[in-house]
Chains A and B, each alone.
Chain A
Amino acid sequence: MPARKARDDVGMTSDVALLTEDLTKFYGQRRGIEGLNLEVRAGEVVGFLGPNGAGKTTTIRLLLDFLRPTRGHATVLGLDPRKDKAALHRQIGYLPGELVFPGRDKAEDLLRFFAVARGDVAWSQVTEFAERLDLDLSRSVRTMSKGNKQKVGLVQAFMHRPAVLVLDEPTSGLDPLMQQEFLAMVRDASGAGQTVFMSSHVLAEVQQVADRVAIVRDGQLAAVERVESLGKRAVRAVEIHFDDPVDPAEFSVLPGVSDVVVSGPVLKCTVDGRIDPLIKAAARHEVVDMLSAEPDLEETFLSFYYHGEGAGDASRAGA
């Protein structure tokens, strides 16, 4: 009976890669994730964003059947994470958030183990990803740096070309060059029809590849947004150095500009949305230097949702 049902689900929802319905996990009294309703379509790249402890890893570990839900349920490729684990994990590539490898093998031996265990993955697929990430397979994984371990983790997640990639903080430890290579791997995977569900707390990296982002805070889904609409919301910190002291009042009245602090010729503020009004105002003075931090989730997006304005968007979850 369960097998029959699973097959029916596949037929019914073949374009849905991940589906969670009221997915809830409590650790005793402590909330992991609560009432998560999320749908990720096949071939989509979805970023799963939120600060530490928001419930991202709990959700991912529920999808992988390391945890069992307190309430609600999840399906991956129409299959049940627990009942169909063996069949399902052949089609999932998983990168844990806290990467620890079993044993003391060289990277090559460890990846051979994964290759055989996943159903005889061709070795050329392993070396292909290892070369893309510039990974030396002859070294013992125990002695590797965090970044190199992360590369081994990425290779084992991608090497069997799974239908679904579930990646927990995939870029942590990678240098900027390798982060770009990783993003290229995600784009290629998406182009090949693979679904990517990746958690992060850095908006910028997700923004480059994701079709949509789902934002969690305090164990609940705050919003699901298309990436195109994110830029408008981006709150960035801006610092402008002028030749001469300026009057703060001139800038604090500008639309979207707040937290204006002027000390002599240096102006610091945050800009919500379009930066154009600030640029125009600044251009009336002699500008020596201008610094604008890349809008990252912690200080921009989440601050928006933390203050509750985004709470109403939760109803759009799964849209």
Chain B
Amino acid sequence: MLPALVRKTWRDDRLALIGWAGGVAAFTAIYTSFYSQFQGAAELKQDALPQGMLDFLGIADMLSPAGYLQATIFSLVGPLLVLMCAITLTARTIARPEEDGGMELMLANPVSRATFAWQRVAAAGSALTGIAAIPGILLMIIVPWIGMDIPLSNVAAASAGLVALVWTFAGIAFLVGATTGKRAAVLATTGGLAVATYMANAIGGMLDGWHWVRWLSPFHYFIGTDPLHTGWHPAELLTLVLLGAATTTAGVLVFDRRDIGV
């Protein structure tokens, strides 16, 4: 049987979990199923608009299945959704209950501090993994169904990257929460870092002489390798997983050493 605290954590978060899962699933399903209608319209636009405008809007690329999935699911809105979910849910592991005082009675149970922290992470992390995996699982069904011409293996690689990206930012959010015990600090720091590293990846790809900046961005390891065209990149995915593991472990160590609820 799973530890009582893990089940309790899921139960307390269940409304948020259901809401996020529903939102991410609807987003994926709606965008992907527009693909066939969108293609016809895009071809008309391609004839009507000058090439420079098409390049600027990225529409030329949206004609290919890989380009379409990249633009809709994997570039901005998809990661934005799952990362918002990851950051807010991770803030609930320690920071929020510490701030509102509910953590004290959970910590009064016979578990060590570190065990408490790991169980909270395990509960939130497994739920987040499930939510971040939803786009990938749905695409495995929708892509063959509507006849998109793209290898499923490539879609799986991009989807795995999305999960790994969530682990990285959940780890960072957990570290901030375990260190400060402040919900606002978790949201501001991790959210700010997500925006900054997203920009770093985008700018690093556009400006000559700034390519190196991309290496500092988790988004580069997620989508910079262009998995929808090039498939699996284990080293990059592993980098994200290790980042998540390292920040989570650091968070547990810090939490084990500090005063609670001061």
Instruction: Give the interface of A toward B (CB within 8 A).
Output: 27, 61, 64-68, 85-90, 92, 94, 96, 98-105, 109, 113-114, 116-119, 156
Closest to A119 in B: B110
Q: Which of A64, A90, A94, A117 meets B4, CB within 8 Å?
A: A117
Chain A residues within an 8 Å CB radius of B261: 61, 66
Chain A residues within an 8 Å CB radius of B7: 113
Asked, given contacts A96-B101, A116-B4, whether A103 binds B12 with beta carbons under 8 Å apart, the answer is: yes
Closest to B100 in A: A100
B148 at the interface (CB under 8 A from A): no
Q: Which of B49-57, B111-119, B129-137, B214-222 contacts A (4 or more CB under 8 A)?
A: B111-119
Closest to A104 in B: B12
Chain A residues within an 8 Å CB radius of B105: 94, 96, 100-102, 114, 156
B260 at the interface (CB under 8 A from A): yes
Q: Is A85 a contact partner of B112 (Cβ separation < 8 A)?
A: yes
Q: Is A66 a contact partner of B97 (Cβ separation < 8 A)?
A: no
Distance, CA A68 to CA B110, complexed state (A):
18
* Minimum distance in angstroms from A207 CB to a CB of chain B: 28
Q: Which of A64, A86, A103, A118 meets B102, CB within 8 Å?
A: A103
Chain B residues within an 8 Å CB radius of A66: 104, 107, 259-261
Q: Which of B5, B110, B257 meets A86, CB within 8 Å?
A: B110
Q: Is B108 a contact partner of A89 (Cβ separation < 8 A)?
A: yes
B106 at the interface (CB under 8 A from A): yes
Q: Which of A65, A88, A92, A102 meets B106, CB within 8 Å?
A: A102
Which chain B residues in 209-262 approach chain A with CB under 8 Å? 257-262
Q: Which of A27, A65, A98, A117 meets B109, CB within 8 Å?
A: A117
Closest to A85 in B: B112
Closest to A102 in B: B102
Chain A residues within an 8 Å CB radius of B45: none
B103 at the interface (CB under 8 A from A): yes
Distance, CA A67 to CA B115, complexed state (A):
17
* Minimum distance in angstroms from A229 CB to a CB of chain B: 34
Q: Which of B101, B103, B259 meets A67, CB within 8 Å?
A: B259
Q: Which of B11, B110, B111 meets A105, CB within 8 Å?
A: B11
Q: Is A118 a contact partner of B110 (Cβ separation < 8 A)?
A: yes
**Contact residues of B: prevailing secondary structure:** helix
Nearest 10 CB-CB pairings of A with B: A100-B101, A103-B12, A102-B102, A90-B110, A117-B109, A116-B4, A117-B4, A89-B110, A66-B260, A94-B108
* Minimum distance in angstroms from A170 CB to a CB of chain B: 14
Closest to A113 in B: B8
Q: Which of B4, B7, B106, B261 lies at the interface centre, i.e. has the most chain A CB atoms within 10 A of its CB?
A: B4
Distance, CA A42 to CA B12, complexed state (A):
37
Q: Is B103 a contact partner of A89 (Cβ separation < 8 A)?
A: no
Distance, CA A64 to CA B97, complexed state (A):
17
* Minimum distance in angstroms from A202 CB to a CB of chain B: 23
Closest to B102 in A: A102
Distance, CA A117 to CA B101, complexed state (A):
19
Q: Is B104 a contact partner of A100 (Cβ separation < 8 A)?
A: yes
Chain A residues within an 8 Å CB radius of B5: 117
Distance, CA A27 to CA B11, complexed state (A):
35
Q: Is B101 a contact partner of A89 (Cβ separation < 8 A)?
A: no
Chain B residues within an 8 Å CB radius of A67: 259-260, 262
Chain B residues within an 8 Å CB radius of A98: 101
Chain B residues within an 8 Å CB radius of A90: 110
Q: Which of B7, B109, B115 lies at the interface centre, i.e. has the most chain A CB atoms within 10 A of its CB?
A: B109
Q: Is A92 a contact partner of B259 (Cβ separation < 8 A)?
A: no
Q: Is B11 a contact partner of A103 (Cβ separation < 8 A)?
A: yes
Q: Is A118 a contact partner of B109 (Cβ separation < 8 A)?
A: yes
Chain B residues within an 8 Å CB radius of A85: 110-113
Distance, CA A86 to CA B3, complexed state (A):
14
* Minimum distance in angstroms from B209 CB to a CB of chain A: 46
Distance, CA A272 to CA B177, complexed state (A):
53
Distance, CA A104 to CA B12, complexed state (A):
7
* Minimum distance in angstroms from A29 CB to a CB of chain B: 14
Distance, CA A114 to CA B5, complexed state (A):
9
Further 20 A-B residue pairs, CB within 8 A, beyond A66-B259, A103-B8: A66-B104, A67-B262, A68-B259, A85-B112, A85-B113, A86-B111, A86-B112, A87-B110, A88-B110, A98-B101, A101-B105, A102-B97, A102-B102, A104-B12, A117-B4, A117-B110, A117-B111, A118-B109, A118-B110, A119-B110
Closest to A153 in B: B105
* Minimum distance in angstroms from B91 CB to a CB of chain A: 14
Q: Which of A27, A88, A103 lies at the interface centre, i.e. has the most chain B CB atoms within 10 A of its CB?
A: A103
Chain B residues within an 8 Å CB radius of A27: 262
